[in-house]
Chain A
Amino acid sequence: MDDRLKFIDEIYKTMYKEQIVLSYIGSVTPEIVNALLKSFKNDDFVLKDQVGLKKRVYKIIVECLENISRHSEITDENLPPSIFLLGKESSNFFIISGNFIYNTQVNDITNMIDKINGMDTDSIKDKYLEVLANGLISKKGGAGLGMYDIALKSGNKLEYNFRYANETTSLYILKVKVDL
């Protein structure tokens, strides 16, 4: 088998083993967001008979992808593209998004997620309402509600990591789980 075929073979095995339902690597434009969402919505094999759970996963995918799309302001051509994965584990679905952010954003994101992870569901709901009632729409069109929404729909702690890329940017990886 030539190297290229071997590579495809490995990808196939990995994706099959890890039960990857949907994957994407590239720029996350609004058109790509729409295409990925359509693909998930119209896929009859994924959560066909679990309407509530499918909607819940859908909502998290929307917020994750819109977050990447809205904040993909770093246009350094030398940086690798964003990544998005939807997969299944024994007791949950997982959504992983990875995109490059400025190193100056790392602290704010860390503080926000740690704060949310330290809250119970009722406190997150209260905070969501507070931001909804008092927050303003940002210049990028965000309402500042996305991460609270993700946490509420997930019902699990949010997992994240930053991989230092260079002196200005890092890869920000977010993993969100939804129980089956």
Chain B
Amino acid sequence: MNPFIIEQSEFSPSIIFDPSNSKFEITGESRPENAGKFYESVIKWLDQYYDDILSKKELSSTEKIYFDIKLEYFNSTSAKYILDLLKVLDNYYKNGHLAKINWHFDALDEDMKDSGEQFSKLVKVPFAFIQQ
């Protein structure tokens, strides 16, 4: 499947989904003016990727998603969509595939770590907390 890339702007994050390089990453600040529209395409791509893997029938253990979330900030509306995104990965994980969330946070921003911990309570997919 072709990579999915959105470039970062001052108030919206960069998205890099590149399966051939095992890279799934969201970076920056998430406060897009229309969060619904922004995340709709992101979640749609992930759903499509998941369907693609399922249709291959041979479920290789190498088909893994290690998802790096490197957000500096997200507003409360984005929180809702980030959870939707995590649910797609959760579904993947619950169906026996390898998935993990790497939740990155600035050492000086304990709130961001706390936010990751809050999200981790709502899904089964494992979280690793990575201090930067």
Contacts and interface: CB of A to CB of B under 8 A. Distances in A.
Interface of A: 30, 34, 37-38, 51-52, 55-56, 58-59, 62-63, 66, 125, 128-129, 132-133, 135, 137, 141-143, 145-146, 148-149, 153
Interface of B: 10-11, 31, 33-36, 72-73, 75-77, 79-80, 83, 106, 108-112, 118, 121-122
B100 to A, nearest CB: 21
Given A34-B10, A66-B75, A129-B121, A59 B80 contact: no
A63 B112 CA distance: 16
B15 to A, nearest CB: 20
Contacts of B76: 63, 142-143, 145-146, 148-149
Contacts of B80: 132, 135, 137, 143, 145
Given A34-B11, A62-B31, 20 more contacts: A34-B10, A52-B109, A55-B72, A55-B111, A59-B75, A59-B111, A63-B75, A66-B31, A66-B75, A132-B118, A141-B36, A141-B77, A142-B76, A143-B76, A143-B77, A143-B79, A143-B80, A145-B76, A146-B76, A149-B76
B14 to A, nearest CB: 18
19 contacts: A30-B33, A51-B106, A52-B108, A52-B111, A55-B72, A55-B109, A59-B75, A125-B118, A129-B121, A132-B79, A132-B118, A133-B122, A137-B80, A143-B80, A145-B77, A145-B80, A146-B76, A149-B76, A149-B79
A130 B110 CA distance: 22
Nearest to B82: A132
Contacts of B31: 62, 66
A56 B111 contact: yes
B122 A129 contact: yes
A114 B72 CA distance: 31
Contacts of B10: 34, 38
B34 to A, nearest CB: 7
B126 to A, nearest CB: 18
A156 to B, nearest CB: 15
Nearest to B34: A141
A129 B111 contact: no
A129 B73 contact: no
Nearest to A150: B76
A142 B77 contact: yes
Given A34-B10, A141-B35, A141-B77, A132 B111 contact: no
A62 B79 CA distance: 14
Contact of B110 (A30, A52, A128, A133): A52
A141 B35 CA distance: 8
Given A55-B111, A153-B111, A129 B77 contact: no
A135 B76 CA distance: 12
